[in-house]
Every structure is written in C-alpha cells, then in structure tokens.
Amino acid sequence: MPSNVTSYELGAYRPPSEAYSLLLRLTHNCPWNRCRFYEMYKGQKFELRSVEEIKRDILTVAKIRDEITEMAQSPVYGNDLHKAALAILNNPPDYIYQNVALWLYKGRHNIFLQDANSLVMRTSDLTEVLKFLKQTLPTINRITSYCRAKTAALKRLEELQSFHEAGLTCLHIGLESGSDTILKMIDKGVTATEEIEGGKKVVASGISLSEYYLLGTGGKALWQEHAIESARVLNAINPDFIRVKTLSIHERILLWQDIENGNFIRTTDEEMMEELKLFIKNLDCRAYFTSDHIGNLLPEVEGKLPENKEKILAVIERFQALSPKERQVYRIGRRARYYNTLEDLKDPGLHQVVEELIERLSNGTGTVDEQIVYKMREAM
C-alpha cells in the first residue's frame, strides 16, 4: 500500500469526456457564478490559486505516480503498471490516490484543469503552470479546461496561442444558447456576438474547441429561436466538437422561480427531440456532434458534420416514429437508467421491467405524469 503523501485539491466538476483524465485544480469555483440554470458553485467564493500552490499539487501527483510505479516493480505485479494501478483503484486509500491511479490505468495522457474558467488566470501564470506540468508529467499530451466565451473574447489571440504552445490542447465552452433573449433570461453574462468572438479566437489559436448546447433552455415559448440562433452562432464559430446537454431544473436552481410564476414552461422529452432536430438541420459547420451527457434522451445521436447529418437525424426520427406507448417505454426506461440506446427496446426482459415500472408510476393508468418524468430527468 502506498505511503501517505501531502494531499492536493480536487474540484467537483469535469465534462463527461474527461472521466478518465487526471484532475488538477487551478482555481476555486466560478468567477461569474450568476447563471440561473444550474447550481454549480452557488454560495461559494471564487479564488485564484497561486502558481506555487498549483506546482506543489503537480509535484504531489508526480510523487504518487512514482510510488505506484515502484509498487508495480514488485513480483506481485510483475513490472505491470496497469495491474498496480488497478489494485489501487480496487482499494484506494483516498480520493487523491484514486484520481492518480485512474489516470495511470487509462494511459497517463490526459489532464483536465479545474474549476470553471482556468483562462481567467493571468496569462503569464497559466503559461508557467502549463510548462511546469508538461515538464513534470511528460507523458501528458492532452490538456483541457473549461472556459467562458467572454474570457476567451477578452484575451488577445497571441495569449491564446501562447497557451497552446505551452501545452493547452482543448477548451470546453458552455454556449448554452445563441439567442440573446435566452442568454439574458438565464443570466449567462455573455452575448451571442461575444460567444462568436471568443469561439473564433480559440479556433484560430489552434486549441481544439468543444461547444455545449443546452437542450430545452428556450422552454415552450422560445424553443425554435433557441435552436436556430444557436446553430447560427455555432456555424460562425465552426468548433471541433458540438456537445449536447439537457436542461434539468429543480427547486434549488434560480430558474425554478420562473417555472413557479409561469414565465418559463419546460419542454417534454418529445418536444426537445423536435428542438434537437431543428437545431441539427440548421447546423452548417464542420464539427463532430455528440450527445455524451447522462441526462440526454438519445446518446446515440452522434456523428461528423456535415457528412453524417442525415444519419444523426435518422436516430431522432426513429424515436419519433415509435408508437406513443413505445416512446413512453423508452423515455421511462432511459430516465430510470435501464436503457442506453433505442436498441435496448428489443430486450424483452428489460421491456417487461420498464412496463412494470410504468404501471407503478402511473398508478395503473398506463400514462406517467410529465412532472414525474421531470423529476426522473433531474435525478440523472
């Protein structure tokens, strides 16, 4: 078992695509922290960490890496780092070792910089951290981070290029919507014009860009504007990836006030599929489109644009072509985590389990109330 080492900080959040990345915290929480559509970082103060603190954490990672590497050289593991890392994962002494062991187990190549907006750091400080990171952990070849579009827009192109040269390879930006009306409603703190400016600068710098579209953010009143304007903004940016997330609202989120007073009416899963179809139809850019968030109804909506557009749309249309009963079976099965794709509908055993669940949730009526489905979606 590895010896105790000085702990280092881990934030709570990362994109789904960074599940196996080493996590390194550069800042505490979010410098904006006013968005009304989620509760992340609410009530928590934003703070910059010093370069010295961050470097100490990087050295701690290196020490744990070396301990697990030495452990792997024992006869028990036969000089197999993969086996030694798996042994730690099966019985981690703490979450720090677990984080490093998972990174070693998955190849030692990827790292994600936390929390919400690493680029808010001074350019010289972030560049110094990136260079030290590459020097200390040389197997890393992919460094990613969250970033606000407005922060990217305020940076000079030369600054973004310096980050790329120092090792930053990818940024995740929450577009959420391309509609100024909706951006104001959710208090995103950015305009569509700034989203375009920030995104285009990132692309021009050579850093790979993932933009996130938040399905359902327009509600029943603005779903068409949300889809069309978001596609317009993303067409102008031409990011490397477009990722879809599904809006989920509960009582602790500020947007809940609008639901209670009737100013915001949520869309159902089926209505969001119509929105998603409109959004994709209006996309005219070269990006990889993916639906890799657990809250999405159809995770198999994925492919390269524009060549796979019809194939992507066909998945949505396949769902829409199901009978009302089968659409409900899939929706409930997906929200209850029995189903991962539409293909799972063919499993008779799972189908029976979901039908029995529907019977319970509907109190024997056969139709599950949308409020229950909303709560299931939130639970995901």
Strands (E), the chain: 22-25, 27-28, 47-48, 110-114, 142-147, 168-176, 208-215, 241-246, 288-290, 303-304
Highest average pLDDT, of 30-34, 258-262, 352-356, comes from 352-356
pLDDT at 5: 60
The answer, yes or no, to whether residue 2 has pLDDT greater than 60, is no
1 has pLDDT over 60: no
How big is the chain by its Cα radius of gyration, in Å?
A: 22
Sequence-separated (6 or more) residues with CB below 8 Å from residue 95? 10
Coil, helix or strand for 168?
Answer: strand
- Mean pLDDT value across residues 41-67: 93
pLDDT at residue 42 in the model: 77
Pick the range with the lowest mean pLDDT from 25-34, 47-56, 220-229, 342-351. Answer: 25-34
Tokens 């940076």 belong to 155
Computed over every residue of the chain, the mean pLDDT equals 95
When pLDDT is averaged across residues 316-344 and rounded to a whole number, the result is 97
pLDDT band at 4 (very low <50, low <70, confident <90, very high): low
The mean pLDDT value for 191-198 works out to: 98
Domain ranges of the chain: 16-321, 322-380
Q: Dmax over Cα atoms in the chain, in whole Å? A: 66
pLDDT value, residue 223:
98
- Nearest partner of 46 among 64, 33, 34, 29, judged by Cα: 29
Cα 199 to Cα 175: distance, rounded to the nearest angstrom: 9
User: What is the reported pTM?
Assistant: 0.94
- Residue 290: which residues within 8 A CB-CB, separation 6 or more? 241, 242, 243, 244, 302
Q: What is the pLDDT of residue 99?
A: 95
Q: What is the pLDDT of residue 50?
A: 96
Q: pLDDT tens across 51-60, in order? A: 999 999 999 9
CATH architecture of 16-321: Alpha-Beta Horseshoe (3.80)
27-31, 265-269, 351-355: lowest mean pLDDT where?
A: 27-31
